[in-house]
Amino acid sequence: MNRFMLQQAQKLQAQLAKAQEELGSTAIEVSSGGGAVKVTINGQQQIQSVKISPEVVNPDDVEFLEDLILAAISEATTKSQEVAAKRLEGLTGGLKIPGLT
């Protein structure tokens, strides 16, 4: 590998590290059930918080609450992956690099 390619690789590595750091501090909030369940996730697909409105806590219908939580987490994960892919696409030129998204 020549010196220029090595410098380019180091530059890309630094840019990717910065992008990963930025994604870690990016908060994405989604909700389900008309806001009854809110999930906050970062750009690295790490759940930061789950908020549940007391009105939807019904011991006789736990399945409904479980469905709301699952829907919110699924949507949050999808949106987080989209944000990460968009952020990293400019750096990787559209290449899929394992472990980055």
Q: How many CB atoms lie within 10 A of CB 11?
A: 10
pLDDT at position 10: 85
Give dist(CA 71, CA 67) in Å, integer: 6
Q: Is 91 inside any structural domain? A: no
**Bridge partners of 31?**
38
pLDDT at position 15: 85
Q: Is 4 inside any structural domain? A: no
Q: Is 76 inside any structural domain? A: yes
Q: Which residues contact 76 (CB under 8 A, 6 or more apart)?
A: 28, 29, 30, 39, 40, 41, 47
CATH of residue 66's domain is: 3.30.1310.10
pTM: 0.74
pLDDT single digits (tens) 4-22: 888 888 888 888 888 888 8
Q: Is 97 inside any structural domain? A: no
Domains in the chain, number: 1
pLDDT at position 92: 62
Q: Is 94 inside any structural domain? A: no
Q: Which residues form the domain of 74? A: 17-84
Signed CA dihedral, 20, 96, 12, 10: sign only = positive
